[in-house]
Structures are given as structure tokens and as C-alpha cells.
Amino acid sequence: MSKSKQTSLLVHGYEVVIGFETHAQLSTQSKIFSRASVAFGAEPNTQACAVDMALPGTLPVMNKGAVERAIQFGLAVGSHVAERSIFARKNYFYPDLPKGYQISQFEIPVVQGGEVSFFLGDEKKTVRLVRAHLEEDAGKSLHEDFHGQSGIDLNRAGTPLLEIVTEPDIRSSAEAVAYAKELHKIVTWIGICDGNMQEGSFRCDANVSVRKPGAPLGTRREIKNLNSFKFMQQAIDFEVRWQIEQIEDGYEIEQATVLFDPDTGETRAMRTKEDAADYRYFPDPDLPPLVIGRDWVEQVRADMPELPRDLERLYVEEYSLTPYMASQVVSTYAKALFFNSAVIQNGDTDAISAAQLDDPEFYKPFARRVAVWISGEISRVMNEEGGPDWQFWIDPVTLARIALREQEGVISGKAAKEIFDYIWKKGRDEKANAPPDLVDSLIESKNLKQIDNADELRSIVAEVISKNSDSVSQYKSGKEKAFNSLVGQIMKMTKGKANPTQVNSVLKEMLSL
Ligand code: ADP
Ligand code: MG
């Protein structure tokens, strides 16, 4: 998105204000306070133990794996991991909550502060986090197949959740989607959540309000359970339009919880929103304070994979990628891995020599070239055809070879693209990576080698000059366009195999004779 678009985010003179609450289901084997399994899709009530069913006399026992994942998240987004946090009971009645309360964290959450940054177009945006707290999920009401009655499935009860809450820093539906995608990337990257939105492992609530610029915050409505990025955008756009219409028509917005209906594309009020006071939060007497020693935090830190933001910084420093380019390369774990293997190789079949890898004059532009391939063609084929077999399409060393021949001037960008397309389609169809010599043999067999022989090029340029005396005299009388038309003629005669930079300089030189 261009700068000008970013600075005019107002919708009909109103500023949009959004804060997110995201529930990430933590990827533990068992529940947060019991030993029952959290596997998705089992027969109703086969994965609910006495604790999950709230039988009298049962007691919750904290799952260490859930806490560890909360710590990982805190470290990944630069939060403070609290040394002592408290579990609280959030009291409400609902058939899928047999205890009559949800165990959550209220006043003192485990993860405090932090931020999530991302690019929207080429502009960087930072959203501050308020907190992330541990809590248990509720069960589910089932309304089908019960002869007109409803049933309760407690398999989901007690599933560990991390609820991640932002400040109201988001200013448009596009920013909201970009934030949610970035958060999704972080939790899946560090492996604390499988990110499956369809199964509800990553669901977002968007709190939306509008105001005149400079006015105090407007009243918000909370759109619940957005489980696709597409619906997220549609729901927020609809909600913003609806709120502005209400205000313009003289109504006041009433705080409410709303649901998005994908069939109508509209949001609809579900209930007027409770305030925190309605839940009668109090510390859960069954659970002691959660104490996290500094040594545990450091141990978790040591075991974490390299984080996206650290890789971005590294790529900017090492290879002089622009911050935007670096963010593109690191936009998924798979792409970052691909970039890394293409640029830093250490096997027998390497395209790049050790000497080249030691020479910044070589490896910086080379890495930038590979980054362009990854943010362009590689992303395109991943998005369009992204399937389980993508690793066969094209391997990092083969891409490195293509980029290398391009950098050496052996082939043009257009020829490189032709080779790329040929190889990834072949890899897709045959489910096998390209043999090491394929790039060079394609350059030969498809006759894609650029003309690098200066004498050959000179004779072609001379011929074009003699056949196009009109263009030549126009150029000499100051018409720049005539020059381009001569370049076009030369490219045509060489079937696009002349190096454009070389053509330019040879033509200039020969025209000035
Ligand atoms: P609650 O306790 O009702 O969940 P919070 O104060 O925790 O309310 O806020 C929930 C979310 O709503 C946060 O992400 C916050 O940034 C966001 N939020 C708060 N006020 C507004 C507002 N006026 N407009 C948009 N979002 C808001
Ligand atoms: Mg809240």
C-alpha cells in the first residue's frame, strides 16, 4: 500500500479503532488442568474426565506444557513473563460450562506487554499487546441428531488457550487482517499452536469502534469468533459501515457482542455485553499462584527456534535486504528456510563456491536476488498451488543456480523465469527434484545464453544503425524515444538474448562515433 493510502485511513470522515482478542489453542497433548486428551474430532464426551465434567471433589492440576508455551509466546513478542501470576474464576452460567465458572487469569496474567510488528505494503506497523493469559476452553452444545433436543459435548472443556489481547492500536480492516496473519505466523512458527482456523485452534474477536479524529474512543462492539481472514475483513468492513450509519442517523452505539454471518455478510447483535464486574472474578482457591523462576524462562529461551524478527534483522544486516524485503522472505517458516538454504549452502552439489560465499561483493547482491525470487515466483507458486508436495517443485540449490546464472549475466531475467517455470512444473509432475546439471543444460538446449561476445553484438548494432537512419537522426536531434526504439530493434534481432545493459552502452558508444 502506498504512503498516500496509509495516511488517509478515514472512512467517511471517521477514524476506525480496533483491538483484538485472540484465542490460540495451545498444542499440548492433554488439557490445561486434567490428563484428558485434546485431540480434535473424537466421539462426544469420550475425552472428558472427571475434572472436565466438574464432578464434585475433583481438583485442577496445572499442565506444565501449557505454561511453557505461554512463556515461549511472551519471549517471542518481547513481553514481560510474570514471575507470579494468578488464576481466577470467571463466573457465568452456560450449559457447556458445568462448573459454573471458567478458570482464567484476570488481574495478574502470565504474559504482560509486548508488541507485534508487520508490514502493510511497504509500511511498518506496530501493535502493542496488553497481555496474554492462560485459560480453559468450555464445552460445546450440539444441536443436531438429538431428536429435537440438544446435547453437550465436553471434549473441548479444559482445552488450554492463550488469550492474546492488544491495545486498540489497529486502524483499518486491512491492518486487522495483517495483524492476525502476523500473530498466526508467530504462534505457528514457535510451535505453540497448530494454527488450524477451521478447527478453531486460532480464533479472533475484533473490538470495533469509530470516532471523529481527535475525539475520545467511541463505544465498541465485539465481533466474536472470526475464524478466517476473509470473514475477518468482511465482518469489520460491514461493522464499520453500520456504526457510521447509526451515528450519522443520530443513534448511539450500544456496547454489544455481535456475530458475523458469512451468508449475509452482516454482523448481528448476540447479546449486550457484560462488564468485567458481572463475572464476579475472584482468585481460584483450588490453584496456587503460578510461579515461574528466571532459570525456567532462560531454559525455554535457549530451546526456542530463531524468531522471525531476529531473522529479519539478520538478513538486513548480513545481506543489506531492505526491511520490507526481509519481512517478505520471513513471511513463513518454509520461505525463510528456503532462503537460508539457497543463500548459504554446504553440500557437494552447491551452486556457489566457498570463495563467493566469503565475498560480500558477491553474496550481498546474490542474496538480494534470491530474496526477489522468493517474494515473487516462489510465493506465487506456493500460494497458487500450495500442496503437500511443494518441496519437490524446486529445491533451493536449483533456484540458487538460476539466480547465479542471472547474476553472472549468462541469462536474462526473462530466460531465468522460463527455466524456473520449466523446472517447477517438472518437479511438480514427476515429484522429484531437478538433477544438479539441469539449469545449465536447459540454457544450452533452449538456446537461452545471452550474447556476451562484444564483437558479435557490435556487428548487430552496426546493422541496426545502418537500417534505421530515421531513428538515428531523430536521436541525434534530441529525441530520447528514438534510442529506445533502436534498443528494441537490437533485442528483436538477438531474440532477446543480448544483455540490455551491454546493448545500451554499445549503442550509445556507436551512435556517438
Ligand atoms: P473486556 O474486559 O470487556 O474484554 P478490555 O478492556 O479487556 O475489555 O478490552 C478488550 C479489547 O477491546 C482490547 O483488545 C481493547 O484494545 C479493545 N478495546 C477497548 N476499547 C475499545 C474501543 N473503544 N474501540 C475498539 N477497541 C477497544
Ligand atoms: Mg477481554
Q: Which residues line ligand 1 (CB under 6 A)?
A: 17-21, 165-168, 207-209, 217-218, 220, 276
Q: Which of 15, 220, 226 to mutate to test the pocket of ligand 1 (most atoms within 8 A of CB)?
A: 220
Q: Which of 234, 258, 293 is the last residue of a domain?
A: 293
Q: Are residues 354 and 276 in the same domain?
A: no
Q: What atom in ligand 1 is closest to the CA of residue 207?
A: 26
471-476-482 Cα angle (round to 5): 35
- Nearest protein Cα to ligand 1, atom 14: 19
Residue 276 domain-assigned?
A: yes
Q: Which of 418, 445, 472 is the last residue of a domain?
A: 445
Q: Are residues 142 and 175 in the same domain?
A: yes
Q: Are residues 403 and 502 in the same domain?
A: no
Separation between Cα atoms, residue 389 and residue 425, nearest integer Å: 12
Q: Alpha-carbon torsion 139, 143, 144, 145, what sign?
A: positive
Q: Are residues 504 and 472 in the same domain?
A: yes
- Nearest protein Cα to ligand 1, atom 4: 276
- Nearest protein Cα to ligand 1, atom 22: 220
Distance 164 CA to ligand 2 centre (A): 9
396-408 and 438-445 helices cross at what angle (nearest 10)? 50
Q: Are residues 224 and 166 in the same domain?
A: yes
Q: Are residues 367 and 505 in the same domain?
A: no
Distance 62 CA to ligand 2 centre (A): 22
Residue 373 domain-assigned?
A: yes
Q: Are residues 412 and 478 in the same domain?
A: no
Residue 347 domain-assigned?
A: yes
- Nearest protein Cα to ligand 1, atom 5: 165
Contact (CB, 8 A) for 15 and 171 = yes
Residue 479 domain-assigned?
A: yes
Q: Which three cell numbers stand for residue 40?
A: 480434535
Q: Which one of the ligands is nearest to 163 CA?
A: 2
Q: Which residues constitute the domain of residue 220? A: 10-293
Q: Which three cell numbers stand for residue 81?
A: 513473563
Q: Are residues 460 and 377 in the same domain?
A: no
15-18-22 Cα angle (round to 5): 170
Residue 65 domain-assigned?
A: yes
In tens digits, what is the pLDDT along the chain, a chain of 513 residues?
Answer: 444 444 468 889 999 999 999 999 999 999 999 999 998 889 999 999 999 999 999 999 999 999 999 999 999 999 999 999 999 999 999 999 999 999 999 999 999 999 999 999 888 999 999 999 999 999 999 887 667 788 999 999 999 999 999 999 999 999 999 999 999 999 999 999 999 999 999 999 999 999 999 999 999 999 999 999 999 999 999 999 999 999 999 999 999 999 999 999 999 988 776 677 789 999 999 999 999 999 999 999 999 999 998 999 999 999 999 999 999 999 888 889 899 999 987 555 677 888 888 889 999 999 999 999 999 998 888 777 666 567 678 889 999 999 999 998 899 898 999 999 999 999 888 888 888 889 999 999 998 888 877 788 888 999 999 999 899 999 888 888 899 999 999 988 887 788 888 888 889 889 887
Distance 71 CA to ligand 1 centre (A): 24
Q: Are residues 385 and 362 in the same domain?
A: yes
Calculate the CA dihedral of residues 221, 126, 200, 289 and round it to 10 degrees. Answer: -90
Distance 207 CA to ligand 1 centre (A): 6
Residue 1 domain-assigned?
A: no
Residue 2 domain-assigned?
A: no
Q: Which of 247, 266, 293 is the last residue of a domain?
A: 293
Q: Are residues 364 and 399 in the same domain?
A: yes
Q: Which of 133, 207, 220, 257 to mutate to test the pocket of ligand 1 (most atoms within 8 A of CB)?
A: 207
Q: What atom in ligand 1 is closest to the CA of residue 169?
A: 16
- Nearest protein Cα to ligand 1, atom 17: 19
Q: Are residues 272 and 317 in the same domain?
A: no
CATH value at residue 500: 1.10.10.410
Distance 95 CA to ligand 2 centre (A): 21
* Number of domains forming the structure of the chain: 3
Q: Which three cell numbers stand for residue 287?
A: 490453584
Q: Are residues 263 and 320 in the same domain?
A: no
Distance 351 CA to ligand 2 centre (A): 53
Residue 299 domain-assigned?
A: no
